[in-house]
Chains A and B, each alone.
Chain A
Amino acid sequence: MSYCVNCGVELDKSAKKCALCSAPVINPLENTQQESPAPFADKVYMPKEVEKRLIAAVVSTVMTIPNIVCVLLNAFVFTNSFWSAYLCSTSFLVWVLFVFPFFLRKAKPLVLLAFDSVVSGLYLFLLNHLLGGKWFFGCALPIVAVNAVLVLVYILWAHKKRHWVHKLLCICSLLATSVLSIGVILDFGGGVNYALEAGVIVFCCVLAVVAFLGYCFASKTVRTWLSERFFI
């Protein structure tokens, strides 16, 4: 019989290391580890998992059917405009954003972000083209680009393990930045009245709240003072 020198427990004859501290079993007087039957079997049975891809395929099929029907109706019955293009493109965007990730074995956030941004940009370009607007290069593209950059910043920042409060504060800050950027772009690129003012107001308010909460979270003195004064 072998004993662990660290833990003092007796080990099973088949043990090659201590189950509690992983110290290897070296017993020159007793070389029977290989022959003794182990208390646990070696076979590992992995139960079947629900196939995410199968569910994604079913959802994709269900989403495709109404689109095909609409395209056929547009082509042969209600032929006055390309109305089915709106429906199909929106449906495709939804599919890319919410269904496509389930087809991937291991979704990489950066690749998904790049793909989603490109598809969102193309969708908006198509809408701009169909509606005959001139807002794509001035407004839509910069908004998509800025938001993609903000999400990229969050992904890179949250790559390391962070406290949930920090995550919440970061998301709020990025949302505020997004609103401000949209305001600036709409004001300068789209000529929307008061968009910049609205963006600045939202940004400043959210940032003030985030700064206050961040300071409270970081400072033990403030936390103690708050819990003394405002306990329920």
Chain B
Amino acid sequence: MRKNTFEWFRLDNAAKIFPGQNSQSWSNIFRLGIVLKEKVEPERLEKALEKTLSRIPSFNVEIRHGFFWFYFKRNPNKATVGQDIRNICYRVKFKENDGFLFRLYYHENRVNLDVYHALCDGYGAMVFLSTLIGEYLRLGGHTVSCNQIVLDVNEKPRVEELEDSYSKYADSKVKYNRRDKWVYHPKGTKAPRHFNNYTSGTMSFMQLRAIAKKYGATVTELLAALLIDVHYKKQLAENKKQREICIQVPVNLRKAFPSESLRNFVLCLRVKIDPNLGEYTFEEIIRSVSLQLKLANDPKLLNSLMTQNLKIERNPVARLLPLAVKNLGVGITFMITAEQTTTSLLSNLGPVVLPEDMACHVEKYYLYTGAGIVNSARCGVVSLGDNLVFTFSNCHKESDIEREFFTRLIKMGVHVKIESNRI
């Protein structure tokens, strides 16, 4: 391994977009949290963090401005942990927090990791947090084995974990160009600046899977269909011009391509229904969602989508544009596309498989996707054992979408326990 591999490296294809989207009040940041069965000791957590950062150096970086592109550079500062705050996932500034693009918090028996999306996707954050907690437990005298998401901190970092897998695997001859319309967005009262609303519901994974099976769908498909149905009914009640309802569903590309990267390697699929086509029952929505996801989740199609996304990055003229111009372009594109073409987001990290000797110390994980700007309710899902946590990140004060969603689940026979940072 070359010595300078971890000194600096380029941003991956997805990460290149995020700095251009930053504003004074918003940046693309998400939270992955873990609930332990014991109270967290901050000193031990800080020691574990130091070791984890040396094992996963893609987190031990600061972002720098180049003339043409942003790049990551190894951060010489020492990362610290802090007491948790109520206004989670507030915006990132590159010079704050000693340059680190993640923030690690503790509160009672919880450890929370707020990550800037340019660093990694949900899977990368999951590996980082699980490795950190694994080491934290080891420092407390417990025996914790390693697996795919709990890495051995005594091993050396591998180059494959830092690679830009988009550039490596995007080689399709066809560039699939999606054309998306502006879609429905629920209106509401904006939450105060830097203080979005986060609500999570803990439920039984087995119960949910049994219901999904009844509809012939997976848990993700069931939840996406329910989210669409809630928005669909809300829009019908508003009695205005009906627009499409489109849910963005990120797909972990590591399942389709043999990547070991701990950086971004995710692609967003879109599932939608058009109310102008006629009335939809919940069964019809779930069937449509299921078919759309199955159809889109094809490695060849994903490859062509990736290749399309890389088109601009590979364009020699675009590469030569100064960073400020690129940022302006990204900002404008983000304003008129991105969230305008999606009603909501549903990010499902899936079931987390921890080593048995670690799983007995952990109660559950949760994922807050970070509130959007016009997407009123963005959702994150993650499950550990039978504990599935569904979270809403909402930029509006109103909680009608969350209420409708969870009460629908209760009517289906799922027991839901609610937590929220709302005051």
* Chain A residues near B (Cβ < 8 Å): 4, 7-12, 15, 18-21, 37, 39-50
* Bound CA–CA A50/B390 (angstroms): 35
Give the interface SS of chain A, mostly helix, strand, loop or mixed.
Answer: loop
A165 to chain B, nearest CB (A): 14
Tell which of B24, B84, B86 touches A50, judged by Cβ atoms closer than 8 Å: B24
Contact assessment for B419 and A19 in the assembled complex, using a CB-CB cutoff below 8 Å: yes
Of B228-236, B288-296, B409-417, the one touching chain A: B409-417
Contacts of B163 on A, CB cut-off 8 Å? none
Q: 1/0 per residue B309-353: CB within 8 Å of A? A: 000000000000000000000000000000000000000000000
B24 with A20: CB separation less than 8 A: no
Other than A11-B417, A40-B420, A41-B105, give 20 A-B pairs with Cβ distance below 8 A: A9-B407, A10-B418, A18-B418, A19-B199, A19-B402, A37-B108, A37-B109, A40-B107, A40-B419, A41-B84, A41-B85, A41-B86, A43-B86, A44-B85, A44-B87, A45-B85, A45-B90, A47-B90, A47-B93, A49-B24
Q: Does B91 contact A (CB under 8 A)?
A: yes
B 194-214 to A, binary, CB cutoff 8 A, 1 in contact else 0 = 110001010000000000000
Q: Do residues B84 and A40 form an inter-chain contact, with CB atoms below 8 A? A: yes
Q: Given A19-B199, A19-B399, A20-B402, are A44 and B86 also a contact pair (CB < 8 Å)?
A: yes
> Are B406 and A9 in contact, with the CB atoms below 8 A?
yes
Q: Does B242 contact A (CB under 8 A)?
A: no
Q: Is the CB of B403 within 8 A of A42?
A: no
Contact A20 B84 (CB under 8 A): no
Would A20 and B107 count as touching, CB distance under 8 A?
no
- When distances are taken between beta carbons in the complex, the residues of chain A under 8 Å from B399 are 19-21
Number of A-B contacts (CB under 8 A): 87
A94 to chain B, nearest CB (A): 25
Partner of B195, one of A7, A11, A15, A44: A44
Which residue of chain A lies nearest to B417 when distances are taken between CB atoms in the complex? Answer: A10
Bound-state Cα–Cα, A42 to B91, Å: 19
> Does B421 sit at the interface, judged by CB under 8 A?
yes
Indicate whether B96 reaches chain A with its CB closer than 8 angstroms.
yes
In whole Å, how far is A20's beta carbon from the nearest beta carbon of chain B? 4
**Chain B residues proximal to chain A, CB less than 8 Å:** 24, 83-88, 90-91, 93, 96, 105, 107-110, 194-195, 199, 201, 399, 402-403, 406-407, 410, 415-422
Task: Please name the residue on chain A nearest to B405 by beta carbon.
Answer: A20
Nearest Cβ on chain A to B22's Cβ, whole angstroms:
12
With A and B bound together, what is the CA distance between A164 and B105 in angstroms?
43
A selection of 13 A-B contacts at a CB cut-off of 8 Å is: A9-B418, A10-B417, A11-B417, A18-B418, A19-B418, A19-B420, A20-B403, A41-B84, A43-B85, A44-B85, A44-B87, A47-B90, A47-B194
Enumerate chain B residues within 8 angstroms of A10, measured Cβ to Cβ.
415-418
Tell me the interface secondary structure of chain B in the complex.
loop
Q: Are B419 and A12 neighbours in the complex by a CB distance under 8 Å?
A: yes
For B419, the chain A residues whose CB sits under 8 A away are 12, 15, 19, 39-40
Decide if A21 touches B85 in the complex (CB within 8 Å). no
Q: What are the 6 A-B residue pairs with the smallest beta carbon separation, nearest first?
A: A19-B420, A41-B84, A20-B403, A10-B417, A39-B419, A40-B421
Contact call B83/A19, Cβ cutoff below 8 A: no
Least distance between B352 CB and chain A CB atoms (Å): 19
CA distance A44 to B195 in the complex (A): 9
Query: CB-CB < 8 A to B96: which residues of A?
Result: 47-48
Residues of A within 8 A of B403 (CB): 7, 20-21
B415–A7 CB distance below 8 A: no
Taken together as a complex, chains A and B put the C-alpha atoms of A87 and B406 apart, in Å, by 65
Task: Using CB atoms, name the residue of chain B closest to A21.
Answer: B403
Looking at the complex, which one of B24, B83, B90, B194 makes contact with A43 (CB distance below 8 Å)?
B83
Contact pick for A20, options B91, B418, B421, CB 8 Å = B418
A16 to B, closest residue via Cβ: B423
How near does chain B come to A79, taking the closest CB pair, in angstroms?
44
A7 lies within 8 A of B407 (CB) = yes
Select the residue from B83, B195, B419 with max chain A CB neighbours within 10 A: B419
- Residues of B contacting A37 in the complex (Cβ-Cβ under 8 angstroms): 108-109
Question: In the complex, are the beta carbons of B110 and A39 less than 8 A apart?
Answer: yes
In the complex, the answer to whether A9 meets B201 with C-beta atoms within 8 Å is yes
